[in-house]
Structure 1
Amino acid sequence: MSFPKTTEIRFKAINDLRQIGFEGFVPVSDLWKDHSVIPNVKGVYMVVRTANNAPEFLTEGTGGFLKGKDPNVSLDVLRANWVNDTCVIYIGQAGGIKNGKQPQSTLRSRLKEYLRFGQGKPVGHQGGCYIWQLKDAANLLFCWMPLPEDDPRTVESSFISSFKKCYGGHRPFANRND
């Protein structure tokens, strides 16, 4: 499958994501038990929250401390970054070209790190760490789009740009600006 070159992408519901080629939609709690369902290829992924209620944030989330660095941020930062009227709370990639080199990471290896980080392990995947301060983090869904022909970094950037156009310049909740 190749990245869909569509001009308008909606981020409101799972069906919007399925229409552009995302698959999976597996709860974090299930992936903590068995991540073998995640494709072992490069691609992009999203973290999705289907609950319609307002999020409840934790002062201390479940994210791991890498090199002693606390991954938690203040509740004010979490509230300021929350984006209403979307199910997408994080967009990431695995296997994108960086500095002219093709990394060896795959969706499976990258998401495995992300999930281990969410279980408190000191893993080098701190992107998207805000999700681990959500009270319902175990109920979030991971979905992915395998990209054997496209650069996942470019596709991720395109999705984030499209999201920003839809939501007044805001990035998805857990896609920090730093």
Structure 2
Amino acid sequence: MQVPEFDITTTINFQTIENLLQVGFTGFIPVADLWENCSVIPKIKGVYMVVRPTKAAPEFLSVGTGGFYKGKDPNVPIEELQVKWVNDTCVIYIGQAGGIRGGKQPMATLQSRLRQYLQFGQGGAVGHQGGCYIWQLKDAANLLFCWKPLPTDDPRAVEKELIETFKTQYGKYPFANRQD
């Protein structure tokens, strides 16, 4: 039996960046820096998180910077964002790149998936609407992206486990992870 490279059964705490470092997440690079150059993101499959490095109360924008993919407005009412907000955590979104869907070979890498996410946040009409709520945060450019490469594990399965673990700890999904 193959031992998974990322054992979610180890205690993961979503409260601080230090907690994420302890379980092997790396990067922690501000969105503004990645908008300039995302070549530091590895070209491998894995899971990633969007982290808000401050504990200050969030300020929401009625119109964020997210792109209109297929003409769909990514913005939601501020009241909806306030309900979705999760206190006492730095993690506001959990995602994956390279998971196998329908038996096909994985296409996305962390770099290609996060590049799409970042382009969406700059108003690009690209297919990355997951996590779109982060682009309605006033401090979106200061958010950090971190990742954990998973050369042999299925990123979709690890992402699902991380989200479920988060939900168990906080009673709801991370702020920008949709439940639909």
Percent of paired sites with the same residue: 68
- 1:62 and 2:65 aligned: yes
Q: Deviations over 1:56-108 (max 9, x none)?
A: 00000000001111000000110010000000000000000111222210000
- Correspondences of 1:93-108 after superposition (within 5 Å): 93-108=96-111
Runs of 4+ off more than 3 Å: none
Separation in structure 1 between the aligned mates of residue 84 and residue 105 of structure 2, nearest angstrom: 31
Tell me which residue corresponds to 1:153. 156
Tell me which residue corresponds to 2:124. 121
Q: CA deviation at 1:55?
A: 0.1
Of the three residues 27, 32, 48, the one matched with 1:29 is: 32
- Correspondences of 1:1-178 after superposition (within 5 Å): 2-168=5-171, 170-178=172-180
Contact map agreement 1:8 1:162 (CA 8 A) in 2? no
Please report the TM-score for the alignment, with normalisation by the length of structure 1: 0.97
Q: Where do 5+ consecutive residues of structure 2 fail to align?
A: none
* Paired residue secondary structure (1:100): coil
Q: Where do 5+ consecutive residues of structure 1 fail to align?
A: none
Separation in structure 1 between the aligned mates of residue 12 and residue 124 of structure 2, nearest angstrom: 34
Q: CA deviation at 1:5?
A: 4.1
Contact map agreement 1:4 1:20 (CA 8 A) in 2? no
Please report the TM-score for the alignment, with normalisation by the length of structure 2: 0.96
* Paired residue secondary structure (1:145): strand
Separation in structure 2 between the aligned mates of residue 16 and residue 146 of structure 1, nearest angstrom: 17
